[in-house]
Amino acid sequence: MHYAFVAIVAMVGYVLGTFPSAIIVAKANGIDIMTQGSGNPGASNVARTLGWKRGAFVYVLDALKGVAAAVVGRLVAGDAGGYWCAAAAIVGHIFPVTRGFRGGKGVATGSGAITVLQPVLGAVLIVIWMAVGKTTKKASIASIVVTVAVPIGTAIIGVPAWELLAMTGLACLVAARHLPNLRRLRSGTEASLDGRAA
């Protein structure tokens, strides 16, 4: 694996990650998603603000960023390249330089990447997210659960140490982005998927 290739795919991944899916979809519907609901430019906030269909559309767009990054990275620099490119896409989604480093939480982009890098685990995590989300009505709880499950599932599968470390690092980054959600959950002010706090 040539380090120049890794650097290139990482830059490509970052650029892919900065694509503002939620902002574009919301703006097309006359809404500035950065000032609505939680202010997070992600699928869950779009779903609460504009309905589940538009939220699902944003999720697909954000997940495709992760898919594209993982595929490009693998094609150019093998499995390690896939992880580097996917990681960069998640970072680009969370910290987009084009928007003052104010981005989303990285869950959708990460889920897209995992479906490429670890398809079975990715499918299981999607099912878990849907089950927890339906039960609790809280997208944040579902996202936190699957984020914690990522390194656990990776360890159970039995992957090389570097791969487990990569998954754990990304999971920690996404989990850190959910700290405000945890505070709102404790105070009972976290909005549910239907937009109501409970």
pTM for this prediction: 0.89
Alpha-carbon distance 72 to 130, whole Å? 28
- pLDDT tier at 158 (50, 70, 90 boundaries)? confident
Angle at 105 between CA 24 and CA 80, to 5 degrees: 105
Average pLDDT over residues 53-61: 95
Alpha-carbon distance 122 to 108, whole Å? 11
pLDDT digits (tens, 9 = 90+) for 159-186: 888 888 888 988 998 999 888 888 888 8
User: Would you give the DSSP letter of residue 173?
Assistant: H
Report, in angstroms and rounded to the nearest whole number, the Rg of the chain calculated over CA atoms: 16
- pLDDT tier at 198 (50, 70, 90 boundaries)? very low
Instruction: Give the model's pLDDT for residue 78.
Output: 85
Res 116 pLDDT > 70: yes
